[in-house]
Chains A and B, each alone.
Chain A
């Protein structure tokens, strides 16, 4: 049975990569179930479906993966999110896009490997369209995507201050982390598929 990763990677039923994916059937099944749990949640109390899809569009854009941007962009539109979000997300991506991973290590010998990079602050125009809660989530998302080793309690405090519950922070952290996985599996499988042995 084909799933989202197949769709995004262009893996056809019965193809060699389909057979290899079936060799890790639990991983295949539960990657799809992770996606379903994140985007068709039992409860939207701590993070709405619109918020989740908007964050997914931003993560896809930050990775510069057209197949992911198209997929989540379509899902956001079909979910009936405010029409102005699309442009605001695109504008945010242009400013926020960079190269990772960078960041700092705890004080000690690893500071020789510290790599400086920007801390993203969303522009007032995009904040106005997306609202303060989603804007805070975007700033956190940028850190998770590009410089996760800079994580520190003040980043979480900013989310709490913007109205995210503890459970909501767990949800959006899982969301960005899952997408970091899904985007890479799809990218890797696409390369492999285009390079038959």
Chain B
């Protein structure tokens, strides 16, 4: 049976938040590529994800994976109205920074930096954490994401007011809520089913 916890191969554990590309090593056995049926491929959504240990592990429940992925893509990639992509990624990066998911933070800090061109601000968020002073608009987005991520949830009318004050319309506020909430889903999977690894040096 495959029902055992895996030992990870020798690797270098990242010990700081970074925008570097990281690998991810599973603690449970992913499905083998050869085992993937049409149902699993539908769950993966993108065929290229069959190469990813993370997605092949989640493919053990292909329906939930499929719907998780389609929820994710629309929250972040749908270009219609709402918050600019850079700031949806900022909410994801701030949530990941606060929960402590080094892997997720690396991916979404890269996206936030790419789309905003504010590389130094993104790096300061990674280095100093969610209390850092970025600018009024980014501070409001980070504060709202942190309040939604806290348990118990501390998101309140003051956060809505704060987001409106820096210019977010109602659809943009819903995007902040969606993006931060979604990363409370993603962080928990990434953190608890495996671990990040620095890519092997060439």
Contacts and interface: CB of A to CB of B under 8 A. Distances in A.
Given A30-B67, A33-B67, A170-B193, A184 B177 contact: yes
B177 A178 contact: no
Contacts of A195: 157, 160-161
The secondary-structure label for the interface of chain A is helix
Among A105, A107, A160, A170, find the residue whose CB has the most chain B CB atoms closer than 10 A: A170
A129 interface: no
B144 to A, nearest CB: 8
Contacts of A181: 181-182, 184-185
Interface string B66-78: 1110110111001
Interface of A: 16-17, 20-21, 23-27, 29-31, 33-34, 37-38, 41-42, 62-65, 98-101, 103, 105-110, 113, 143-146, 148-149, 151, 153, 155-157, 160, 165-167, 169-171, 173-174, 176-178, 180-185, 187-189, 191-192, 194-195, 197
Interface of B: 2-7, 13-17, 27-29, 57-58, 60-61, 63-68, 70-71, 73-75, 78, 80-82, 98-101, 129, 148-153, 155-157, 159-161, 164, 170-171, 173-178, 180-182, 184-189, 191-193
A173 B149 CA distance: 17
Contacts of B4: 160, 166
Nearest to B6: A153
Contacts of A24: 74-75, 78, 82, 174-175, 178
A110 B64 contact: no
B155 A174 contact: no
Contacts of A192: 160, 170, 173-174, 177
Given A110-B16, A188-B148, A177 B185 contact: yes
B15 A107 contact: yes
Given A181-B184, A187-B153, A195-B160, A30 B170 contact: no
